[in-house]
Structure 1
Amino acid sequence: MSTLVLTRVRPWGAPSTDLVLRDGVIASVAPVGGRLPDGAEVVDGAGLLALPGFVNAHAHVDKSWWGQPWVSYGGEATTQGRIAHERAERDRYGIPSTAGAVAVLREFVRHGTTATRTHVDVDLGVGLRGVAHVREAAQELGGAIDVSIVAFPQDGVVRRPGVLDLLDQAAAAGATHVGGIDPASIDRDPVAQLDGLFAIAERRGVGLDIHLHDRGELGAFQVELIVERTRRAGLGGRVTIAHGFALGELPPARQDDLLDDLRDAGVSWATVAPVGTAPLPWRGMRSRGIPVGLGTDGIRDLWSPFGDGDVLRVALGFARLHGLRTDDDLTDAVRLATSSAAGFVGRAVHDLVEGAPADVVLVDAENAPDALVRVPPRSLVVSGGRIVTRDGKVLV
């Protein structure tokens, strides 16, 4: 078994300790100065802050042109407009491709992300090619990042006959989740879309992760439909609503009712905390134990020229959007990007504790709030007990 010891590191800002990583898991959290395992590789953390590996709970790694020539923004700035523009232009830029997915996954690793849930387009134009490319990219990185795939019908479901069959094939072939998108405004038949998606989830034993951009009461109505179908299917803990901009726009009493429903049904929430959207009722979600994950969304693609793959920077955006100031709240924002997101990548635990995956990020910061507001470079990234980034250089 391979053993790596990170000495004199400060988990979550606690006093210095030694982390013993053996065979891909944290074997022990030991006092500094104790006897080190024979034959272990030893790295002196020199008092750096230790955090768990970051978890990107909402990405689109199949469509990025990171590291490739600049592509100017075009098309209409609406959901339908972005879909149409992407469909018209993607072949021109070689999307999807294994090389493109490798480039953006390496950037994730450089910033300390060790696990991600990524949506991968599945439609009548690309079929399942994107899924194959992303799997090949993950294999090329040799386990440096754990990649969970959502088979995502970006162009709609029931309005594109044959897409449900493709989603079913992807689920049968190992996708961990099936996606959906705006059942009301894209397909204009929310019941049919959700019936089709939930049928696949029940038949294949996979989860669901549904993009919901619709605002106001139209969005709230679809949240209620998703909650009701989740209860009926007994899929609590396996359904996620992504974006869900409507929730932050509703009156407080309406929000509270929906939050109670989400909690009772076991539906989680993923957000990229975009500028200009209404803050989520985050404290109400936290008090109810509703899982919230943070993600980068698309990065430099045909939807947006923005993004750099740094989930810690997304957590900073979340903190600013929600007006967080206290140390406890700022630390919780970092937890959203790390330990609290374990369930989004199929883990029971993801933290700096014995038995957890040996995913560790070292940064030069006093504590978690300091790391959040300064977003310092990642000094060392360990994934599965193996050093994958050192001083900003990706080693895989």
Structure 2
Amino acid sequence: MRNVRPWGGPAVDVVLDGDRIAALEPAGSGPAGSEPPADSAVLDGRGLLALPSIVNAHAHVDKSWMGLPWQPYGGEGGTDGRIRHERARRDELGIPSVERTAAVLDAHVRHGTTALRTHVDVDTGIGLRGIEAVREAVAAYEGAVEATIVAFPQDGVLRRPGVLALLDRAGAEGAEHIGGLDPASIDRDPVGQLDAIFDLVARHGCGLDIHLHDAAELGAFQLELIVERTQRLGVAGRVNIAHGFAIAQLPDARRHDLLQAMGELGITMTTVAPLRLPQLPMAELDAAGVGLAFGTDGIRDLWSPYGTGDTLGIAWQFARASSIVRDDDLARVVELATRDAGAFVGRAVHDLVPGARADLVLLDAEHAMDALVRVPPRLAVVGGGRLLHEAVSSSG
């Protein structure tokens, strides 16, 4: 890759060897600026901004009707209402399927995502078919796109007999994470659900990624139960809270204490930056050592017709809704969407440095701040050293 500007800095040439970044050299000098071997491919970066690829840390790639004719929004609102509507129509639309999942993955890739953590529905109606479909769709990229799986009990854990056994089987068969959903408001038994899913995490050595929509004190109560179990069962560094709206709704002192406890145990958070709710406090999470990453949630599914697959767009939404305007903070949001989110997909390093996996995205932007506020098209996307998407810029 010739003449690209990592993070908006000086232009460099990047040598990719297999699925790794081998070297970065000043543009036009050294091995990267000399004639490449005859069997090499050369991409002219034209001075474009280069970033590590965008990581989608909260996806639902198994649930979309993307690629089908338009499906009007139906059913009732609220989490339980959307669950009922989805269960009533998903078989009719062929969800889950390899084809629908492939369409969603393609949308992610075109928007610069080459690594994602996806929640995949597990219930007595579909068993583990969704996990199988997602793995098959990801395998078609032959390693250029990577996905970690959360076995997700969208319909509840305890209120549907047989779901816990399916989650146990998913963990035994290699799902990287076990999921959970609103232990209080869905299962009506926060202690029971959390004890059950934490037991699976401890036995299978996997992670826990739990959806927690419950607000304010009810949500905080469940967060405290999660903190206690994380410590007691020795699963620090393996627990993530998705959504976690309650954090932003607590009094300052209570939020501070809870975030400190979470940071000490390596409990992380993911957000889809919902517009109608207060955003997670980025600076406070950073100060407490609580990792934060962004995700698209569902895309064109039976929950909502919205979604394009652009996780950078979600980062923009988060920044705008949080009134983030200063350069350092804007750049920090981009770091959370790219470099730092690598940890959410099991990567020790996800950056434009020698030895890192060769996952990069090129944009026509001055620097990371400019890329965030304008969200320009992704002009080239490289995953595992392979060119997955290339577009022509408006400047030619």
Give the aligned partner of residue 232 of structure 2.
Answer: 232
The 5 A counterparts of 1:90-169 are 90-169=90-169
1 CA distance for matches of 2:219 and 2:192? 16
Provide the C-alpha distance between the structure 1 equivalents of 2:59 and 2:120, rounded to a whole number of angstroms: 9
Shift of 1:38: 2.7
2:16 aligned partner, one-letter code: L
User: Superposed, which structure 2 residues align to 1:263-302 within 5 Å?
Assistant: 263-302=263-302
Give the drift of 1:392: 7.3
SS state at 2:328 partner: helix
- CA shift digits 1:216-270 (9 cap, x unpaired): 1000000000111111111111100000111111111111011111111210000
Could you tell me which residue of structure 2 aligns to residue 14 of structure 1? Answer: 9
Deviates most, 107-116 or 85-94: 85-94
**In the aligned structure 2, how far is the partner of 1:168 from the partner of 1:17?**
48
> In 2, Cα distance between the equivalents of 1:115 and 1:84?
30
Task: Identify unmatched segments of 5+ residues in structure 1.
Answer: 1-5
Counterpart residue number, 2:87: 87
1:74 deviates by 1.0
Map residues 1-396 of structure 1 onto 2, 5 A cutoff.
6-33=1-28, 34-36=30-32, 37-39=36-38, 40-391=40-391
Deviations 1:289-326 (A, max 9, x none): 21101000000101111010001101100101111101
Worse-matched range after superposition: 150-159 or 88-97:
88-97
Whole-angstrom CA distance in 1 between matches of 2:164 and 2:61: 22
Give the SS at the match of 2:341. helix
1:66-98: CA deviation from partner (whole Å, max 9, x where unpaired):
121100111111011111111111111111111
Structure 2 gaps of 5+ residues are none
SS at match of 2:91: helix
Contact conserved, 2:144 with 2:385, CA < 8 A, in 1? no
Counterparts of 1:230 and 1:341 in 2: how far apart (Å)? 21
Aligned AA (1:26): I
Tell me if the contact between 1:110 and 1:392 (Cα under 8 Å) persists in the aligned partners: no
Contact 2:178 2:209 in 1 (8 A): yes
Task: Look up the equivalent residue of 1:27 and give its one-letter code.
Answer: A
Contact 1:377 1:392 in 2 (8 A): no
2: CA distance, partners of 1:170 / 1:178:
8
C-alpha distance in 2 between matches for 1:323 and 1:59: 25
> Partners of 1:133 and 1:30 in 2: how far apart?
41
Q: Is the 8 A contact 2:122 2:128 kept in 1?
A: yes
**2:201 partner letter:** A
Query: Once superposed, what is the RMSD of the aligned Cα atoms?
Result: 1.2
Number of residue pairs aligned between Structure 1 and Structure 2: 388
Could you list the runs of 4 or more consecutive aligned residues of structure 1 that deviate by over 6 angstroms after TM superposition? none
State the secondary structure of the residue aligned to 2:31.
coil
d(CA) in 2 for partners of 1:188, 1:248: 23
Percent identity between the two aligned chains: 60
Moved more, 163-172 or 115-124: 163-172
The 3-state SS of whatever aligns with 1:296 is: coil
Q: How far apart, CA to CA, are the structure 1 residues paired with 2:119 and 2:385?
A: 26
